[in-house]
Chain A
Amino acid sequence: AQTVTQSQPEMSVQEAETVTLSCTYDTSESDYYLFWYKQPPSRQMILVIRQEAYKQQNATENRFSVNFQKAAKSFSLKISDSQLGDAAMYFCAYRSEDGNKLVFGAGTILRVKS
Chain B
Amino acid sequence: DAGVIQSPRHEVTEMGQEVTLRCKPISGHNSLFWYRQTMMRGLELLIYFNNNVPIDDSGMPEDRFSAKMPNASFSTLKIQPSEPRDSAVYFCASSTRYSPLHFGNGTRLTVT
Contact = CB atoms under 8 A, between A and B. Distances in A.
SS of A interface (majority): loop
A88 to B, nearest CB: 14
Contacts of B106: 43-45
A53 interface: no
A104 interface: yes
A101 B56 contact: yes
A40 B36 CA distance: 17
Kindly state the interface size class of chain A when it binds its partner.
20 to 34
Interface in B68-101: 89, 91, 93, 95-98, 100-101
Interface residues of B, number: 23
Given A43-B89, A91-B43, A104-B42, A50 B95 contact: no
Interface string B25-36: 000000101000
B45 A103 contact: yes
A99 B33 CA distance: 12
Nearest to A105: B42
Contacts of A35: 100
A47 interface: yes
30 contacts: A33-B98, A33-B100, A35-B100, A43-B89, A43-B105, A44-B103, A44-B105, A44-B106, A45-B101, A45-B103, A45-B106, A47-B100, A47-B101, A50-B100, A95-B100, A95-B101, A99-B31, A99-B50, A99-B97, A99-B98, A100-B31, A100-B48, A100-B56, A101-B45, A101-B56, A102-B33, A103-B45, A105-B42, A106-B42, A107-B42
